């Protein structure tokens, strides 16, 4: 009996026709993309940006919110709910990273202490970084800055000594309490604005005099909550990354 073996199909390399087809398709795609981009650029009125919403905010933000810093008025006055979402995303990312680092053995110091000069400079910088971070947070409704920037500086204040001396203790429990309290304070302030029939995060305490420290209603308090939350989250995360020793 004659056996029939399967015949294997021989794949031959693509000739010049296949290469020409790909080149033609690529050229057609690039030509279409270039035409689309040209039409988009040609339709943009350079020098005459349609700032309908932006112009209205610039004209009315200071009077409606009491904040001299327009960025603060936007972040907390007009889109405060979005800012709450951003803080929630930051918390979720920090919590996920903390759980991953905890499984890798948090609390084991990485490396040896730095030299005397670096350690001394780190502890000397600690109070100055605290003051700068607090100033940026408290004056966020008056000058550029706010809770996110000031919170990052506060985190650096606590992380710099740990960088100079990895065996330094870091109290993760206190950082967690501060973070939770700050997030709860942000939500509670937003809910209090609804008691009088307003919307979530409606300003409290009145607008005050423009340019004064105690102005812009509850916006500085919201920025303080954001600064404490961001600072505690980043400090705890960096301490976990660097292997800060857990303080009892």
Mind listing the pLDDT tens digit for each residue in 39-85? 887 877 766 666 677 778 888 888 888 888 888 888 888 888 889 88
The answer to the question of residue 159 being in a domain is yes
Mind listing the pLDDT tens digit for each residue in 184-242? 999 999 888 888 778 888 888 888 887 888 888 889 999 999 999 999 988 888 887 77
Beta bridge partners of 145: none
Residue 126 to residue 130: CA distance in whole angstroms: 6
Q: Name all contacts of 118-125 with Cβ < 8 Å and 24+ positions apart.
A: 118/164, 119/161, 119/164, 119/165, 121/164, 122/160, 122/161, 122/163, 122/164, 122/165, 123/161, 123/164, 125/157, 125/160
The answer to the question of residue 43 being in a domain is no
The answer to the question of residue 19 being in a domain is no
The answer to the question of residue 24 being in a domain is no
The mean pLDDT value for 139-159 works out to 90
The answer to the question of residue 146 being in a domain is yes
- Bridge-based pairing of strands 169-170 and 245-246 is parallel
Q: What's 130's DSSP letter?
A: H
Residue 143 to residue 135: CA distance in whole angstroms: 10
Give the structural domain span for 127. Answer: 68-246
Structure tokens at 142: 């008056």
The answer to the question of residue 73 being in a domain is yes
Q: How many domains does the chain have?
A: 1
Using alpha carbons only, how large is the chain's radius of gyration in Å?
28
Beta carbons within 10 angstroms of residue 123's beta carbon: 14
């Amino acid at each position: 009996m004659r056996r029939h073996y399967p015949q294997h199909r021989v794949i031959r390399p693509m000739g010049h026709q296949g290469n020409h087809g790909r080149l033609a398709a690529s050229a057609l795609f690039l030509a279409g993309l270039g035409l689309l981009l040209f039409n988009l650029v040609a339709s943009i009125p350079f020098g005459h940006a349609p700032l309908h919403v932006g112009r209205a905010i610039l004209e009315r933000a200071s009077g409606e919110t009491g904040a001299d810093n327009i960025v603060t008025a936007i972040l907390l006055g007009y889109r405060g709910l979005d800012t709450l979402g951003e803080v929630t995303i930051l918390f979720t990312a920090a919590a996920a990273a903390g759980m991953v680092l905890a499984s890798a053995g948090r609390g084991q110091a990485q490396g040896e202490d730095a030299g005397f000069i670096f350690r001394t400079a780190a502890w000397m910088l600690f109070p100055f970084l605290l003051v700068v971070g607090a100033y940026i947070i408290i004056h966020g409704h008056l000058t550029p800055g706010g809770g996110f920037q000031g919170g990052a500086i506060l985190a650096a204040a606590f992380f710099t000594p740990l960088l100079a001396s990895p065996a330094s203790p870091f109290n993760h429990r206190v950082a967690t309490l501060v973070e939770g309290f700050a997030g709860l304070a942000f939500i509670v302030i937003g809910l209090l604005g609804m008691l009088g029939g307003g919307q979530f995060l409606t300003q409290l305490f009145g607008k005050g005099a423009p340019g004064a420290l105690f102005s812009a209603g509850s916006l500085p308090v919201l920025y303080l909550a954001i600064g404490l939350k961001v600072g505690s989250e980043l400090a705890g995360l960096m301490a976990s990354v660097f292997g800060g020793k857990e303080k009892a």
